Structure 1
Amino acid sequence: MAEEKTAREKNEAAKQQADVKPAVVDFTDLTKKNQDYMFHLDKELDQRKYAQKNEALSKVHAELLEKQKTGIVATKLYGPVTKKADEIIAGPKKPAKIPTLWEMALDNGLMMFALFCAMYAIFGVFSKNSNQTNAGIITLIATSVVAGIGLGYFYRQMLGQQKQRNWGRVILNVIILVAAWMAVFGLVGIIPPSVNVVLPPVAYATLAIIAFAVRIYVKKRLDIPNPADLARQTNDNNKK
């Protein structure tokens, strides 16, 4: 019985060893810089006691072996070793979400509305003639809507892959949007002051605060990233 038990234990131990993947230690097919990077990445994952280290190193090794054919080094492809280790442990990043035109138009429209309200509040305090038609509430709303749509379109065009951008078309559309904004501003200017009411500075300041708070809520609710962050994520994805 003892001999059978010992044999069974040896078989189980052998089976467990067979299931364990061998450590990835041979990076001799990489360049010296890439070998050094993989060595430190191996050490970093060891220090963090990452269970799937061997599998992760195998994937990085295979990808790096292919990329180095075009002269790319690991530090340029992955960044610092600690950053790559963080990405491996945290798992793959979700692809960057590009908001729809109307989401970006809403976000930018609220931003412009808040800025215009703050500007009107300041002008209302320091301007002697505070009843100017071009400072009316209808002017503010109309120009904010047009500016929001224009900026939303512009950002979406800039977030496309560079090879797919038709710069001539982008510039033409931007010119059209600027012309539309100026036309709306001019048309609203003929609306009589009795309709295009100029609010007191305090009211504009209050609207600016409300618009800013609503924008923060909308960004969180719709998960709208900042254009700069979104552009950086999109460019990183396009490089891969």
Structure 2
Amino acid sequence: MSEDKQARNAGVQQHQKQSPASDLPDELTKKNQDYLYHLKKALAETKLSSEKQQKAIDETIAKMIAGQKQGQTARQLFGTVTEHVAAVIAGPRADPNAGQNKWLLMLDSSLMVFMVFNLMYGIMFFFTKSSKVQTGQAGILSELILAIVAGYGIMMMQTTLARGGKRKIPIWRMLIYGVLFFIVLTGTYTLVMMIPGPLNANLPAVVYIVIGAAALGIRIYLKSKFNIKNTVF
């Protein structure tokens, strides 16, 4: 055999060793093996490091094997090869419900309610030029207590919906929750109305507006700093 022929054969053998078609798991179906073959080729053309490519391939194989038990093909699991490669390059998509501290959600909702109360009373008192609202109803302490209770109720609704995920929560359950929330909020409102005036006096219109604006600013800051999501608005 000539040296040129030996060199060509060696090159072919080397190419075969490096071919994406090599080392395809026998556990995979023919369709999934074909998908994996093209995935390896596509990943090799990206700028991803060999370690990241291999990690993506290993994770894909594991999901393929698990999916086969449920009768799912790679195409159903990942979409086209192009789509899957794009997802690998982009990295794992953050779960919008992950890492959401329920107390941060409560604080955000409470600030929202507190802001609405203060701006509402501030604007109302500003235009009427007089406080016709009974002391206690618009008192700053009443607002704070109501905001905390309402914030807790809204947070519970948010976490319940988040736990439900894609599963649709029965309407009757949400109605029961809404009725209970309304009863608790009404009872709290009745109690805070009894707080004496000196502890719960009405404030000037400008002060309400300033407090409402401050609550809005704090809420925006906290949402940005702690990446609070899934809020009411």
The answer, yes or no, to whether TM exceeds 0.5 is yes
Q: Residue 207 of structure 1 corresponds to which residue in structure 2?
A: 211
Matched, 1:59 2:62: no
The letter for the 1-side match of 2:57 is L
CA distance in 2, matches of 1:128, 1:80: 66
TM-score by length of structure 2 reads 0.65
The letter for the 1-side match of 2:116 is L
Q: Residue 232 of structure 1 corresponds to which residue in structure 2?
A: none
C-alpha RMSD of matched pairs (Å): 4.2
Instruction: Please list, as runs of the form range in 1=range in 2, the aligned pairs for 1:13-28 lying within 5 A after superposition.
Output: 22-24=19-21
TM-score by length of structure 1 reads 0.64
Q: Residue 30 of structure 1 corresponds to which residue in structure 2?
A: 31
Q: State the shift of 1:98 in Å.
A: 3.4
Consecutive unaligned residues in structure 1, runs of 5 or more: 1-16, 229-240
Q: State the shift of 1:29 in Å.
A: 1.9
Q: State the shift of 1:189 in Å.
A: 2.3
For the 8 Å contact 1:114–1:209, the answer to whether it is kept is yes
Instruction: Sort the Cα spacing of 1:24 and 1:183 in 2 relative to 1 into closer, same or farther, 3 A.
Output: farther
Consecutive unaligned residues in structure 2, runs of 5 or more: 1-13
Q: Residue 189 of structure 1 corresponds to which residue in structure 2?
A: 193
The letter for the 1-side match of 2:180 is I
String of CA shifts for 1:156-196, please: whole Å, max 9, x gaps. 22222467x89877654543332111111122224454542
In the comparison of the two structures, how many residue pairs are matched? 208
User: Secondary structure at the residue paired with 1:141?
Assistant: helix
Instruction: Please list, as runs of the form range in 1=range in 2, the aligned pairs for 1:14-163 lying within 5 A after superposition.
Output: 22-24=19-21, 29-30=30-31, 39=38, 45-52=43-50, 53-64=53-64, 66-67=66-67, 70=70, 72=72, 77-78=77-78, 84-89=84-89, 91-92=91-92, 96-100=98-102, 102-127=103-128, 129-133=130-134, 134-161=137-164
User: Secondary structure at the residue paired with 1:112?
Assistant: helix
String of CA shifts for 1:190-215, please: whole Å, max 9, x gaps. 44545422222221221122112222
The letter for the 2-side match of 1:48 is T
User: Secondary structure at the residue paired with 2:47?
Assistant: coil
Q: State percent identity of aligned pairs.
A: 27
CA distance in 1, matches of 2:114, 2:146: 8
Between 1:151-160 and 1:41-50, the stretch displaced more is 41-50
Instruction: Sort the Cα spacing of 1:173 and 1:215 in 2 relative to 1 into closer, same or farther, 3 A.
Output: same
CA distance in 2, matches of 1:139, 1:56: 55
Q: Residue 227 of structure 1 corresponds to which residue in structure 2?
A: 230
Instruction: Sort the Cα spacing of 1:126 and 1:51 in 2 relative to 1 into closer, same or farther, 3 A.
Output: same
CA distance in 2, matches of 1:65, 1:79: 16
